[in-house]
Amino acid sequence: MEGRWVEVADRVLVRRYAELDLSVGLVMGDGGCLVVDTRGDERQGAELLAEVRRVTRDPWTVAITHSHFDHSFGTRPFLGRPVWAHEDCRADLLENGGRARDEWARYYRDLGRADIADDIARTEIVPPDHLVTDRARLVVGGRPIVLAHLGRGHSGNDLVVHVPDAGVVFAGDLVENGAPPAYEDAYPLEWPDTVAGLLDLPDLPDGGHGGAAAPAPGSGGTVVVPGHGDPVDRAFVVAQHAEISALARLCERVTAGSLSPDDAVRLSPYPEETTRIALGRTGRP
């Protein structure tokens, strides 16, 4: 999917990037479009906007799935139109965005990627100007869009973007394909309930495809777009929900003192590093 848009449902497009295996979205209507996430720095955001403009000249609205740099730092080129996100996304970017910018610039510099490090270091962090507390219902180009904060999970400000007339959900990093879920800023005990809420969204039927790949456009099945990795179907999300639920139960047992961290690592559905990060987020690394 790198370098091209792929239509996963009626006028709902996904664009993949090799860097961090990132996926962004574009929902087109009649006279308006919705951009889902803006990438990781101003240059990347400008590149994304240029690619949106190759597809449609309609005015855009932006939705940010959460405040992590790779999803939100590319917003500045999109200014002049509404930028939606959860209210805590704005708070996190204002409070911690500068520190995150410095940390990620240093990370890429240490990797020998001075080009990316310089782009991040030069980026102006722009907070969203339209805020969601629980849910917001938009109409973009005549299409209904639901922005829903279903609870905390991967971060404290996760927002899903539901396109009900297409059966598509942009899940941000609440769902991960191709790597274990990232727990560095996560709420391990709350994450399962949040994903359960995603699965319970109305007009999100079980398409019956049963595999990791998303249904073909027009097939009528559910498409869930993770923040990283290929789009998936509902069955994939159900399976991942079982895994994060299992890890949550292990975290609870370790916190209660009925299980050692080493035994939790042995029983975990995820690698040791992921498991110990999750345990650290609940008080027992």
Q: What is the CATH number of the domain that holds 250?
A: 3.60.15.10
Helical H segments across the chain, by residue range: 42-55, 69-72, 87-110, 114-121, 191-199, 234-256, 261-267, 272-281
What is the reported pLDDT for 203? 59
What is the reported pLDDT for 166? 95
Q: Which amino acid is at 173?
A: D
Check whether 241 has a pLDDT greater than 50: yes
Q: Which of 48-52, 213-217, 261-265 has the lowest mean pLDDT?
A: 213-217
∠19-238-10 over CA atoms, to 5°? 65
Question: Hunting for tokens 């295996």 — which residue is that?
Answer: 21
Phi, psi (degrees; rounded to nearest 5) at 235 = -60, -35
User: Which residue, 112, 282, 255, is CA-closest to 187?
Assistant: 282
Q: Which of 161-175, 196-210, 250-264 has the lowest mean pLDDT?
A: 196-210
* Mean pLDDT score of the chain: 92
pTM (2 d.p.): 0.92
Rounded-to-integer distance, Cα 61 and Cα 192, Å: 30
Q: How confident is the model at residue 285 (pLDDT cuts 50, 70, 90)?
A: low
Check whether 214 has a pLDDT greater than 90: no
- pLDDT (mean) for 21-38: 97
Q: How confident is the model at residue 222 (pLDDT cuts 50, 70, 90)?
A: confident
- pLDDT (mean) for 249-253: 98
What is the reported pLDDT for 70? 98
- pLDDT (mean) for 7-31: 95
Q: Where in the sequence is the domain holding 200, given as residue range(s)? A: 5-281
What is the reported pLDDT for 220? 45
Check whether 177 has a pLDDT greater than 80: yes
- pLDDT (mean) for 257-275: 98
Please write the tens of the pLDDT for every residue from 92-147. Answer: 999 999 999 999 999 999 999 999 999 999 999 999 999 999 999 999 999 999 99
The CA radius of gyration of the chain, in Å to the nearest whole number, is 18
Check whether 209 has a pLDDT greater than 50: no
When divided into structural domains, the chain yields a total of 1
Q: Please tell me which residue, 209 or 129, carries the higher pLDDT value.
A: 129
Check whether 210 has a pLDDT greater than 70: no
Please write the tens of the pLDDT for every residue from 57-68. Answer: 999 999 999 999
What is the reported pLDDT for 221? 59
- pLDDT (mean) for 260-270: 98
Rounded-to-integer distance, Cα 110 and Cα 89, Å: 27
- pLDDT (mean) for 193-222: 62
